[in-house]
């Protein structure tokens, strides 16, 4: 093998001279796992090819949107047709109505939806709506949940069980951070104490009902139900951030899975079919506060972009048939079967439907709080990552990120993944 750098190395060197860290989003820089990020040339089904022509079985799937796999033919066809009709209008179009009907049919009894461009923007809009509806200033989030990079959500916990937040990023002012409370996941007592002290000033509680941005921190149904009861008691809204979990386990929201009805949901990823689409949905009395129906302002040149919404419609129309979920279920069953008879594994696998997380520490139960993730687990993932790449497997390049199954994954693909994770 020659000592000359490959295409990914050359491109990354160029990018670092042009872009902060050489990337458009931090985790892509491979800082967590070392080595050079792979520059991807194309994707098809369950596979990626990098600029050097190397092929990878992909379990990152663009961080979740590609539930149908890469370059799904129906999605590509819909995008191609829409692009030929025009890339942007800055005006209403019929695909807005079609996608709105599809999403709201899955999130009954919600009556309204506003399309934006990203999950972050959806969360920003939901915060503004909650404050306008309640007339209260404070927002509650939970340690280990991620809600995009809006200033008010880039906040970490201070000292104590549930406290006013501290800025977790430079550029977030103390004035903004003080309006965000942070509580630990899974602790009903902490919730009750927080609402006892701050409940009269709390506009909303934001939570990933299936926390999947800092490990896969599965919460008990009774905890989410307790959160629903406490927010209702104190007149605060409950917002489910379903940017990852929306349409992930079936043609519905995660609230159906845990028998909890939030007041608002924020959506992204899957509803765009691989293109940038975000949304906030809820009851008419809440959403109709948005301009032009109400006095809560939100606008965007690319909101409801026709090409992006065409991708979302093509994706959701396939999901609504149920067939992609049946294929994913078979892949999940194959994943479970692949572990039968395996002894002395270095990791524990957490899986909820098509979302999975290998946790490389067997000394304690899998954590349900971010604070409990061990350094051994992080080191275990990091030490193995380059080996997986060499075996032709592409997983999210961070021990804190989850992997995904798609309808393009076959049982044999999952068997290959399990063998690699097991070190066979």
Digit-coded pLDDT (tens) for 117-161: 999 999 999 999 999 999 999 999 999 999 999 999 998 865 444
pTM for the model: 0.96
Report the CATH number at residue 195. Answer: 3.40.640.10
pLDDT of residue 158: 55
Tens of pLDDT, residue by residue over 386-424, are 999 999 999 999 999 999 999 999 999 999 999 999 985
Question: Is residue 371 situated within a structural domain?
Answer: yes
pLDDT of residue 168: 84
Single out the residue of 261, 336, 324 nearest to residue 109, CA to CA: 261
Question: Cα(404)–Cα(65) distance, rounded to whole angstroms?
Answer: 9
Same domain, 315 and 326: no
Catalytic residue among 146, 325, 385, 400: 146
Residue 94 has pLDDT above 70, yes or no: yes
Say how many domains are in the chain.
2
Average pLDDT over every residue of 297-324: 98
Average pLDDT over every residue of 89-114: 98
The reply to whether 168 belongs to the active site is no
Question: Is residue 382 situated within a structural domain?
Answer: yes
Same domain, 299 and 366: no
pLDDT of residue 1: 38
Same domain, 194 and 316: yes
The reply to whether 56 belongs to the active site is no
Question: Is residue 93 situated within a structural domain?
Answer: yes
pLDDT of residue 160: 45
Domain boundary among 274, 296, 320: 320
Same domain, 237 and 362: no
Question: Cα(180)–Cα(205) distance, rounded to whole angstroms?
Answer: 10
The reply to whether 241 belongs to the active site is yes
Question: Cα(367)–Cα(15) distance, rounded to whole angstroms?
Answer: 37
Domain of 99 in residue numbering reads as 73-320
Answer with the residue of higher pLDDT: 2 or 271: 271
Domain boundary among 320, 349, 367: 320
Mean of per-residue pLDDT scores for the chain: 95
Question: Is residue 364 situated within a structural domain?
Answer: yes
pLDDT of residue 2: 43
Domain boundary among 300, 320, 340: 320
pLDDT of residue 266: 98
Catalytic residue among 47, 56, 269, 394: 269
Q: With contact defined as beta carbons under 8 Å apart, do 402 and 381 qualify?
A: no
Tens of pLDDT, residue by residue over 11-43, are 999 999 999 999 999 999 999 999 999 999 999
Same domain, 210 and 124: yes
Question: Is residue 66 situated within a structural domain?
Answer: no
Catalytic residue among 241, 263, 361, 394: 241
Same domain, 190 and 287: yes
pLDDT of residue 203: 98
Strands of the 40-44 sheet, one edge to the other: 40-44, 47-50, 55-58, 393-394
Question: Is residue 2 situated within a structural domain?
Answer: no
């Amino acid at each position: 093998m020659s000592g000359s750098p490959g295409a990914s190395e050359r491109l990354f060197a160029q990018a670092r001279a042009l872009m902060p860290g050489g990337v458009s989003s931090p985790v892509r820089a491979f800082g967590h796992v070392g080595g050079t990020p792979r520059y991807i040339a194309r994707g098809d089904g369950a596979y990626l090819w990098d600029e050097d022509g190397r092929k990878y079985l992909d379990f990152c799937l663009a961080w979740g949107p590609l539930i149908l796999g890469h370059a799904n033919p129906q999605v590509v066809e819909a995008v191609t047709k829409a692009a030929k009709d025009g890339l942007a209008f800055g005006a209403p179009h019929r695909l807005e109505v079609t996608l709105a009907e599809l999403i709201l049919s899955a999130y009954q009894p919600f009556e309204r939806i506003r399309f934006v461009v990203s999950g972050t923007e959806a969360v920003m809009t939901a915060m503004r709506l909650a404050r306008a509806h309640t007339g209260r200033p404070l927002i509650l989030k939970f340690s280990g949940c991620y809600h995009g990079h809006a200033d008010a959500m880039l906040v970490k916990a201070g000292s104590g069980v549930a406290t006013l937040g501290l800025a977790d990023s430079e550029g977030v002012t103390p004035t903004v951070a003080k309006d965000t409370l942070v509580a630990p996941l899974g602790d009903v007592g902490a919730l009750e104490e927080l609402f006892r002290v701050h409940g009269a000033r709390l506009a909303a509680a934001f939570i990933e009902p299936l926390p999947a941005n800092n490990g896969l921190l599965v919460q008990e149904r009774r905890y989410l139900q307790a959160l629903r009861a406490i927010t209702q008691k104190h007149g605060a809204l409950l917002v489910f951030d379903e940017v990852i979990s929306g349409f992930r386990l079936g043609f519905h929201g995660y609230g159906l899975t845990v028998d909890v009805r939030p007041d608002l949901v924020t959506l992204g990823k899957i509803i765009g079919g691989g293109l940038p689409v975000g949304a906030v949905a809820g009851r008419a009395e809440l959403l109709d506060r948005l301009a032009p129906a109400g006095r809560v302002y939100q606008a965007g040149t690319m909101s409801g972009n026709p090409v992006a919404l065409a991708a979302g419609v093509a994706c959701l129309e396939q999901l609504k048939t149920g067939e992609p979920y049946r294929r994913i279920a078979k892949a999940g069953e194959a994943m479970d079967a692949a572990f039968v008879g395996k002894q002395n594994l270095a990791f524990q696998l957490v899986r909820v439907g098509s979302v999975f997380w290998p946790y490389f520490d067997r000394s304690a139960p899998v954590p349900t709080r971010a604070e409990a993730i061990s350094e051994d687990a992080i080191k275990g993932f990091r030490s193995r990552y380059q080996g997986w790449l060499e075996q032709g497997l592409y997983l999210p390049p961070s021990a804190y990120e989850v992997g995904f199954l798609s309808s393009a994954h076959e049982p044999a693909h999952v068997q290959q993944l399990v063998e690699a994770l097991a070190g066979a």
